[in-house]
Structure 1
Amino acid sequence: MKLRRTIAALVGAVLPVAGFAAPAAQAAQTGVSVTYQVDARHDGTLIDSGVAAPPLDRKWSRDFGGAVSYPIVAGGRVFATSSSPNGYGTILHAVNAATGKDAWAPVALGGTYWWSALAYGGGRLYAQNYDGQLTAFNPATGAQLWTAKMPGQYSFTSPPTFAAGVVYTGGAGSGGTLYAVDAATGAVLWTQSVMNGDNSSPAVTATGVYVSYACEQAYAFDPKTGTPTWHHETSCEGGGGRTPVVADGGLWIRDDAGMTPSVLNLTNGTTRGTYPAAGWSPAPAFDGHEGYFVDEGVLQERHSRTLESRWTFAGDNQLSTAPIVVNGYVYVGSRTGELWALNGATGQPVWSTNVGAPITDPDEHNASQPLTGLAAGNGLVVVPATNTLQAYGH
């Protein structure tokens, strides 16, 4: 049974950690959102000089007639998938970021159920359906460049991630498999067995590919060779997973099998600490040492090393999205359709608007719809709200 809890506001100074030398800060994603939670680390942070400080205005809105995925925002276009209104499968949409009009005609991605996911990089857009069909498109024209069926599995619910010429993804059905795919050709470069392979978009850095599944079965692999680096394991396993986040030298993992969310050391997979949240809470976002966590409908800031909290924001107590951070402002949406922007340092709300439709939770455990999430880039903050995709800017 899932235990419910109430977050109490914690107020305190951010304390240094004795004897800890902070790692060099990783550069924030600039100007584009290229996978789930913005970048290959899934840390939810973006710098875009084209996105003005809030308040923002609605620039355009599109109704796709089915539940809408997290968007990709790159190359002057916004890409998203939506569940088909006529049976199984999803539809890929490409929208001109400036006008909200179709950049090219929608493409049916097919597949069982209503799940699909996108990534972008190397001048290509990558779409994957539930059956493991991974397809590369020309993002300017929609022309198909290659398509490949991932071998050995039949259930695919892990959004792909592009990094350094490779697309990483996962599959399940008979055990689990992590795949590294040549982004130029679709050829599988290497595979590795993992425990069950569900719902975990690979987080990728120059030195590691990280995935995390039920019961805190988390792994690190060498990005080029697939050689295992470490395996953080517990006494149980099961279906399901959660997308991990790489931030401040740690791997932030969540688990809905009853374990408290943890922070693992990137170098060896040992537990650095735990943080109070439900395992099914959305992925946190990070801006330097500041982490932003949505749990039980409330947003809380925590220092990434001490886990001390300086502020809490309840909004309408129905906050639903994984937060993202754009130019130091934290954006978060609600099941009631409210969208907020907050000062990341103080938690002070600086703008809000109602988008006119519920902003649904990211469902990392089912294939009943595409995975949802906020994104930004090309001067816009982009919000999937039920069947609509909406863009805000100046």
Structure 2
Amino acid sequence: MQGPQALHPGTQAPQVGASTAYQVDARHDGTLLDSVVGAPPLARKWARDLGGAVSYPVVVDGRVFVTVSSPGGGYGTTLHALDAATGQDAWAPVDLGGTYWWSALAYGGGRLYAQNYDGVLTAFDPARGTRLWSVTLPGQHSFSSPPTFSGGTVYTAGSGSGGTLYAVDAASGAVTWSRSVLNGGNSSPAVTATGVYVSYACEQAFAFDPLSGAPKWRHETGCSGGGGRTPVLADGRVWVRDGAGAAPAVLGAADGAVLGGYRATGDAPAPAFDGRQGYFVDGGVLTERHSRTLEARWTFAGDGQLSTAPLVVNGYVYVGSRTGRLWALNGATGQPVWSTDVGSPVLGPDERNVSQPLTGLGAGAGLVVVPATHQLVAYGR
């Protein structure tokens, strides 16, 4: 087993044992330590056909949570809770309602949080599926930014009339602060104890104090528009991408200073980081780069249709393909150590549209969990 990379000064410890947000954790860095998973090869443990497009999984406390678009063509999504050991329902599916087919999840403070397109944010008891509270976020009507839990607060954003970033008390559902942003869509807040970071069209990026919402910095460019891309926090840097044509930028987390740029097309998924090793999918190819020099040290083309944001578990990089293939690679060398046919296309995240929930890989509870179109497939030892 390769094991995790040594941490460098300024980096933060990886998430341990659970996926609690989009791209694993509140930083969206795509990296997890789980001693139960073990080194690949892995075996298929279970698979479920859930009847609609499947979101990224939240994997915690022996359960796998996803949302699924309505299979009948009508608007709305359904929340599913599955037993991680068997893949069977842990509790009955819950209709989340909402316009279109978008919804997203986060976990923290002993609660599961689900948000739909209409801005209805609901907290559930993850053991029983009981609703604990529900709030309709005020002032906006279009919600496509997955929520993030950190430090007793759920952070999310909405758009429609400008854009708004919200901080919601995780215990009660009360909005503790909100701030105007440009323009609130498609950007799950990346959060640490010292900053909340979001990035929208034309790389209009913002940082706020998590407790007060006070602005810390703004990376302003010469244009603005709808939509955004989820930022990634790694190695003291904010990695932002843009769907409006600007070259992706690396910003200093402390002050927003531009530290460099990197190559990625408009639909490239979020990179993942293990210490100072960064993993980038672009144009169907996976490339490893040093987070400071951005030097490319290895590439892996697979079948040329790699599509997912990378997932790093115990130093192994997992990536899926539109052809339905899943690979595991040694993160240090790029050497493929295992691959399997998932059985359905493993699609990349659609950060432009709300025609389905945002999808992505996840891990925890001894599993690597793969949404593959309408299927959810779990692998483990």
TM-score (norm 2): 0.97
Kindly provide the amino acid, as one letter, of the partner of residue 230 in structure 1: W
Give the paired residue count.
Answer: 373
How far the C-alpha of 1:312 sits from its partner, in A, is 0.2
How far the C-alpha of 1:279 sits from its partner, in A, is 2.9
- Does the CA-based 8 Å contact 2:11-2:234 persist in structure 1? no
Residue among 41, 50, 53 paired with 1:55: 41
**Aligned-partner SS, 2:75:** coil
Which whole-Å CA distance do the structure 2 matches of 1:368 and 1:361 have between them? 14
Which whole-Å CA distance do the structure 2 matches of 1:36 and 1:334 have between them? 19
**Aligned-partner SS, 2:144:** strand
Residues 1:31 and 2:30 are matched in the alignment: no
Q: How does 1:8-87 map to 2 (within 5 A)?
A: 23-86=9-72, 87=74
Summarize deviations over 1:213-259 as a string: whole Å, max 9, x none.
00010000000000000010001000010000000010000001111
Residue among 196, 210, 217 paired with 1:230: 217
Summarize deviations over 1:123-177 as a string: whole Å, max 9, x none.
0000000000000000000000000000000000000000010000000000000
Q: How does 1:1-394 map to 2 (within 5 A)?
A: 23-86=9-72, 87-394=74-381
- Does the CA-based 8 Å contact 2:10-2:236 persist in structure 1? no
How far the C-alpha of 1:43 sits from its partner, in A, is 0.2
How far the C-alpha of 1:114 sits from its partner, in A, is 0.2
User: Partner of 1:5 in structure 2?
Assistant: none
- Does the CA-based 8 Å contact 1:43-1:247 persist in structure 2? yes
How far the C-alpha of 1:280 sits from its partner, in A, is 2.1
Kindly provide the amino acid, as one letter, of the partner of residue 206 in structure 1: A
**Aligned-partner SS, 1:294:** strand
Which whole-Å CA distance do the structure 2 matches of 1:107 and 1:35 have between them? 19
Query: Could you list the runs of 5+ residues in structure 1 that have no partner in the other structure?
Result: 1-21
**Aligned-partner SS, 2:202:** helix
Which whole-Å CA distance do the structure 2 matches of 1:28 and 1:303 have between them? 17
Kindly provide the amino acid, as one letter, of the partner of residue 59 in structure 1: K
**Aligned-partner SS, 2:352:** coil
Which whole-Å CA distance do the structure 2 matches of 1:24 and 1:364 have between them? 29
How far the C-alpha of 1:277 sits from its partner, in A, is 1.5
User: Partner of 1:7 in structure 2?
Assistant: none
- The percentage of aligned residue pairs carrying the same residue is 74
- Does the CA-based 8 Å contact 1:23-1:249 persist in structure 2? no
**Aligned-partner SS, 1:240:** coil
**Aligned-partner SS, 1:310:** strand
How far the C-alpha of 1:85 sits from its partner, in A, is 1.3
Kindly provide the amino acid, as one letter, of the partner of residue 231 in structure 2: P
Which whole-Å CA distance do the structure 1 matches of 2:171 and 2:24 have between them? 22
Which whole-Å CA distance do the structure 2 matches of 1:296 and 1:73 have between them? 29
**Aligned-partner SS, 1:78:** strand
Which whole-Å CA distance do the structure 1 matches of 2:105 and 2:345 have between them? 22
**Aligned-partner SS, 2:281:** strand
- Does the CA-based 8 Å contact 1:159-1:201 persist in structure 2? yes
Which whole-Å CA distance do the structure 1 matches of 2:178 and 2:282 have between them? 34
**Aligned-partner SS, 1:331:** strand
User: Partner of 2:5 in structure 1?
Assistant: none
**Aligned-partner SS, 2:297:** coil
Query: Could you list the runs of 5+ residues in structure 2 that have no partner in the other structure?
Result: 1-7
- Does the CA-based 8 Å contact 2:21-2:58 persist in structure 1? yes
How far the C-alpha of 1:24 sits from its partner, in A, is 3.0
Kindly provide the amino acid, as one letter, of the partner of residue 69 in structure 1: S
Which whole-Å CA distance do the structure 1 matches of 2:299 and 2:246 have between them? 23
- Does the CA-based 8 Å contact 2:11-2:236 persist in structure 1? no
Kindly provide the amino acid, as one letter, of the partner of residue 54 in structure 1: P
Kindly provide the amino acid, as one letter, of the partner of residue 362 in structure 1: P
TM-score (norm 1): 0.94
How far the C-alpha of 1:309 sits from its partner, in A, is 1.0
Kindly provide the amino acid, as one letter, of the partner of residue 343 in structure 2: G
**Aligned-partner SS, 1:147:** strand
Which whole-Å CA distance do the structure 1 matches of 2:295 and 2:262 have between them? 10
Which whole-Å CA distance do the structure 2 matches of 1:25 and 1:300 have between them? 21
Summarize deviations over 1:323-377 as a string: whole Å, max 9, x none.
0100000000000000000000000000000100001110011000000000000
How far the C-alpha of 1:196 sits from its partner, in A, is 1.1
Kindly provide the amino acid, as one letter, of the partner of residue 244 in structure 1: P
